[in-house]
Structure 1
């Protein structure tokens, strides 16, 4: 019972309207490979609970009836694999391409839904960015600086983060003593553990050039 309650609690937290519409706009869940992988599995538009929550989100996101009707028509073509969504490449790429890439390649015939899908499916699923922000905040608002106002602390975090980004344009960032100062910190010599691990994990998404330069230097 304890395990069951934990699973139900986790499902409830992830079964919000915004989660359901994101799930409904992921082409991966309409592919024959995903549907046939488990007996009785159905695509999102055939799931009653998902459909109810998705429609609830659409009513809130598109309060105008005419615009919402256009969105529903676009979703009908997308979920049913109709018109441009029924082409061979579109259907095959549902399982192969990244969801965001799929919408960029095949979603132009449904511009409203494409824009919504890119916003939802482009959200990071990692909390590492928040964790880094909290680490900066804890550095600024400490036991010795506990009287600082929330607004001042927020401004200082903003300045710290943006100065950190601006410093990457400086020539010293790629050489001399301050080389890549914000990636490894004091543990720069080793990326096997410590502060550098999470930073390196995000480079492949945000800064592939820097990642290439970093590991090329190691090989030399």
Structure 2
């Protein structure tokens, strides 16, 4: 089974596989006949396909509602046959549709376009949002599609990493006798390539490029997984930008507050990209991650602050909540819960209203400006007598009488005494 049937060696670790042999060795199974060749390739195969289609039905039911992407990629099987995979992807749930054997076919743009059109018809054009292929020139040439766009994933960085890995072999190639055979096609280009491969300065530049792009590459690698990372993106971008700056400034021998023309160019590119990708949802997810309120995380960098103290994050998060919770009461409850979670409040135009609803009425500082030290909770329910003084102004006769009364013990009322009487009245 393993050597001729193509089973993976990992299958031998399956406990059910091992138990089946143990059972067969100790029990007789009278009347059992294993499925034959014809049954395996006809009726049993059809039943298995029906079973798989039943498992896929809950996923396919959402295709029309949410729209899907057709993903196509070329590869070769163990027999070296050129295959074209067709898959459908929706919200991280890929479904394999079919593999097309391209043996004997001239795979030009017309052939590729035909393959993809057939896939669109099979799935249903009304369900298709986009078609994604690799960067092969024949794929780009199949312009009967919606749009042709590059889908590189840090391909330049990957290539430079590969150069570093095979540096010694590249240099050996450039100084070999066989290198002269390449000079017949383009002597100038061959000499330039040789000069670069043997140049220490060129390799130093590659080292520098890989060093300051490493934080960017690492972040892209983390984001390009099926694992949930939305709650990490905002901080990853901030940390990545700081790391890139540190590498560039160290390379140029600059202090943190000095000017770097190259860093300014890189910074503008990174910020422009982040501005296009950052959404209020990123800020909300960042704000709800307990990690970013921990002492350990804050102490890693003196510039770090908790999310609720970051004006930009709080404003963007407020935008999301304002759009998501149309009911004002629900919105107030959500903001109250976030305040309890973060220990802070929203620095938004509605912050004063939120603070009144959350603190002025419900917390230990409730009604702080009513009645002063002599106020107690029963005054709210038992009468408004204590509130009368709270509404007085300097223009009212009652207040004037109180001030004069406080000063009547002296023939001459000093300014400090008048102020003292006024403060007493206000209290």
TM-score calculated relative to the size of structure 2: 0.18
Q: Point out the structure with max Rg over C-alpha.
A: 2
Tell me which protein shows more helix as a share of its residues: 1
More strand per residue: 2
TM-score normalised to the size of structure 1? 0.35
Which of the pair has the greater relative contact order for Cα pairs under 8 Å at 6+ separation?
Answer: 1
